[in-house]
Amino acid sequence: MSEVATHDDHHDHVPSGIGRWLFSTNHKDIGTMYLIFSLVMLFLGGASAMVMRMELFFPGLQIVDPDTFNNLVTNHALIMVFGVVMPAAAGMANWMIPIMIGAPDMALPRLNNLSFWLLPMAGIMLILSMVVSYLPGTGGQVNTGWTLYPPLSVQAGMGMDFVIFTIHILGISSILAAINIVTTIVNMRAPGMTWFKLPLFVWSWFFTGLLLIMIMPVLAGGVTMLLFDRHFGTAFFDAAGGGDPVLFQHLFWFFGHPEVYVLLLPSIGVLGLVIPTFSRKPLFAYKPLVWFMAMLTALGMVVWAHHQYTIGMSLGVTTYFMIGTILISIPVGMMLMSFIFTMWRGSMTFETPMLFGIAIILMFSFAGVTGVMLAVVPADLQYHDSYFVVAHFHYALIPGALFGLYAGVFYWLPKWTGHMYDEKLGKIFFWWTTIGFNVTFFPQHFSGLAGMPRRIVDYSPQFAEFNFISSVGAMAFGLSHLLFLYIIIKTIRGGEKAPDNPWEGSQIGTVGLEWNLPSPPPFHSFTTPPTIK
């Protein structure tokens, strides 16, 4: 073979057909696969929520038995967190970060392939966890919820082993992807692309990547100890053997609280592009915003025990976790103010991504308010394990993470597909899903304050009205996603050709919009030598 690769040589290395996807090292193809995977999982996780809300339409048991309900609770959370929000954000990172920083691809393209292909394996394993629970002699359902607290998780049936293995695979996938993204941002920036020229989305993933590298090993360790307690005679979490079940809660929430920011930060990064673009103004206070993200990341690592006030910690420790948690409202509030000041006196237009952006600011602020309520120890002792908590974190994660990703999908669909989506349908989807979401979760604050416990298949009749309204909203919220799917398929299949700068956006700071690049992009972006500086 000659030293200089000819065009034909190169062409030989680009597999076609299914091989293009199986062996892909192309950040755009891998990004697309992440996005499609998360879309499939969205319908799976959504279906499990719909079944739960159908059961809760009326008091009494109607369509599922209590064990199945508990298993649905577990699966819904695991699917939404690990199967939907994280892969969708990773898909956007894969697609956009190399383009935004002027790199030809991710720093570690083959690792990128492995990170993605571990995911469908984990997804299958998670589905199997539910399937094996129904086989005779496997010990029943995975009835712990996604928090997997012992002793219940030590006693649970074989399905729990599948869940533990699922989390191991997911953990490997997330850590590898995070290493890849952080390495890419550190090493692959084009000459002149200095740290404080990075678009906010890139910064958000830099901090997300660091968080993942710090927290995923702790969760992996926790569930491994669980596995040992289940099968190898250890007693890490067994008081009778000298262990302590509360240890698991600390390990889980050391992962679990920062994980919330893993879910939120990429969406805040998307807002950092959407709000300036549709306001035709540079992002207000870009540098402080980056530092507030750093502050959020750091504080997020040290507040985990606010999920366990009820375990009986000392007054000093409890007070520390309370004050730390309340402090988090500073960076979050500053970020939201920064977006509001970006809109101030801008030439705003209200296409679908911007509608989501504004809705996020309003609804996520509301989650912030209930979050401060829950941070206050004496109040939390009353709200703990009630539907108020369910309402709070769905207001945090559906606007804060999911709607941010929807904003990103509508913002970048023209870039990804080369076509404009149907703006009218996009707006219908926005209103349908936003109203459905609020009708679902707003009443849950009240049923929670009235004392309805969370993760429960049945409830006493005084909660019937709130639950009926909530279930009606959930059906609307769930069904709106059929329109979402239709819009995406329609856009992929055709439509008006996307111009280079479809949103007529301004420059963001000194960084031009990535729309200046050809759209749709060339098939294989690794055709030019890397420009590593």
Enumerate binding residues for Cu ion (CB under 5 A): 257
Q: Is 522 exposed, middle or buried, given 0-12, 13-18 or 19+ CB atoms closer than 10 A? A: exposed
Q: Output the smallest distance, CB 82 to Cu ion, in A.
A: 17
Taking the C-alpha atoms of residue 137 and residue 155, their distance in angstroms, rounded to an integer, is 14
Q: Tell me how far, at minimum, the Cβ of 368 lies from Cu ion, in Å.
A: 13
Task: Indicate the residue among 299 and 487 with the shorter CB distance to Cu ion.
Answer: 299
Could you tell me which of 174, 145, 328, 372 has the C-alpha nearest to residue 249?
145
Q: Which residue lies nearer to Cu ion by CB, 101 or 219? A: 219
Question: Smallest distance from the beta carbon of 307 to Cu ion, in angstroms?
Answer: 5
Closest-approach residue to Cu ion (CB): 257
CB 143 within 8 Å of CB 71 = yes
Tell me the HSE value of 259 on the side-chain side, using a 13 A CA sphere. 26
Q: What is the 3-state secondary structure (H, E, C) of 399-419?
A: HHHHHHHHHHHHHHHHHHHCE
Nearest approach, Cβ of 257 to Cu ion (angstroms)?
3
Q: Which residues contact 68 (CB under 8 A, 6 or more apart)?
A: 141
Toward Cu ion, which CB reaches closer, 257 or 415?
Answer: 257
What's the closest the beta carbon of residue 93 comes to Cu ion, in angstroms?
Answer: 23
How many CA atoms lie within 13 Å of 296's alpha carbon, on the beta-carbon side? 28
One-letter amino acid at 199 equals P
Rounded to whole angstroms, the maximal C-alpha distance in the chain is: 80
Nearer to Cu ion, 193 or 210 (CB): 210
CB crowding 395-404: b at 16 or more within 10 Å, else e: bbbbbbbbbb
**Considering beta carbons, is residue 230 or 257 the nearer one to Cu ion?**
257
DSSP annotation of 345: T
Query: In angstroms, what is the minimal distance from the CB of 369 to Cu ion?
Result: 15
Please choose, from the candidates 236, 178, 234, 233, the residue with its C-alpha nearest in 3D space to the C-alpha of residue 208.
178
Neighbours of 348 (CB within 10 A): 15
What is the SS3 string spanning 250-315? HHHHHHHHHHHHHHHHHHHHHHHHHHHHHHCCCCCCHHHHHHHHHHHHHHHCCCHHHHCHHHCCCH
Shortest gap between Cβ of 261 and Cu ion (angstroms)? 9
Of the two residues 168 and 257, which places its CB atom closer to Cu ion in the complex? 257
**C-beta closer to Cu ion: residue 257 or 392:** 257
Nearest CB to Cu ion, comparing residues 109 and 368: 368
State the amino acid at position 414 in one-letter form. Answer: P
Minimum distance, C-beta of residue 376 to Cu ion, in the bound complex (Å): 14
Residue 245 Cβ vs Cu ion, minimum distance, rounded to whole Å = 19
Three-state SS at 497 = strand
Q: Please state the closest distance from residue 399 (CB atom) to Cu ion, in A.
A: 17
Cβ proximity to Cu ion, 257 vs 419, nearer residue: 257
Angle (nearest 5°) at CA 504 between 501 and 506: 105
The DSSP element (H or E) to which 77 belongs, if any, is helix 66-78
Amino acid at 287: K
CA angle 164, 245, 250 (to 5 degrees): 75
Q: Is the CB of 377 or the CB of 475 nearer to Cu ion?
A: 377
| Residue 267 CB, nearest approach to Cu ion (Å) | 17
User: Of the two residues 340 and 372, which places its CB atom closer to Cu ion in the complex?
Assistant: 372
